[in-house]
């Protein structure tokens, strides 16, 4: 919900120029689980502009953030690394072909563990989640990418230093 509000705010700031809005996917890595994101890019064919992008991996439910799992002796089934990342930066138009972008951001990973409760007390299916600090991480992210335009359709490829991976996206120019 917060990400949608940020996207709408960013889009309204960029209303004076063409705006590219896209949806992106960042693959699983050692640092985080697969994440979905979106970006809002100011497109001026021959000038500099601005952009903002956001990525998020949702937490799993039901989650018990203050539960002492050791007291239950429930088996640990899996661990997760949920990513949240925001990037801000500048764009530079490449004529009607598209644009390049360069920016900086901040990323944080919140660890989560999946347990199984064989008595099904904490969840109907026995599966529940808790915080897992061993997977927590945070840091700065530098990213750069290129967006190609085919009419109003946009294709985005952007590298993120925090994960060491490239996000791919598709969007529309308004």
Which residue, 34, 38, 39, is CA-closest to 49? 39
- Give per-residue pLDDT as tens, 44-55: 998 999 999 999
- Residues whose CB is less than 8 angstroms from the CB of residue 120 and which lie 6 or more positions away in sequence, other chains included: 126
Structural domain span for residue 130: 2-173
Instruction: Let me know: does 101 contact 89? Beta carbons within 8 Å.
Output: yes
Q: Each residue of 63-76: b (16+ CB within 10 Å) or e? A: eeeebebeeeebee
**How many separate domains does the chain show?**
1
The sign one gets for the Cα dihedral 34, 143, 104, 2 is negative
- Exposed, middle or buried: residue 115 (CB in 10 Å: 0-12, 13-18, 19+)? buried
CATH number at residue 145: 2.40.160
What's the mean per-residue pLDDT of the chain? 89
Range among 7-11, 62-66, 160-164 with highest mean pLDDT value: 160-164
163's enclosing H/E stretch is: none
Higher local confidence (pLDDT), 130 or 24:
24
């Amino acid at each position: 919900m917060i990400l949608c509000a940020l996207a709408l705010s960013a889009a309204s700031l960029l209303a004076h120029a063409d705006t590219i809005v896209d949806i992106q996917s960042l693959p699983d890595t050692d640092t985080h689980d697969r994440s979905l994101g979106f970006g809002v890019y100011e497109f001026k064919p021959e000038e500099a502009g601005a952009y903002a992008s956001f990525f998020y991996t949702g937490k799993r439910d039901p989650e018990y953030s203050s539960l002492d799992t050791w007291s239950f002796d429930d088996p640990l089934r899996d661990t997760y690394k949920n990513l949240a990342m925001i990037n801000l930066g500048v764009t530079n138009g490449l004529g009607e072909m598209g644009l390049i972008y360069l920016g900086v951001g901040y990323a944080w990973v919140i660890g989560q563990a999946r347990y199984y409760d064989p008595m099904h007390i904490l969840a109907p299916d026995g599966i529940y989640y808790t915080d897992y600090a061993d997977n927590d991480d945070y840091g700065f992210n530098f990213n750069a990418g290129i967006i190609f335009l085919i009419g109003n359709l946009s294709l985005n490829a952007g590298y993120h230093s925090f994960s060491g991976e490239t996000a791919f996206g598709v969007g529309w120019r308004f």
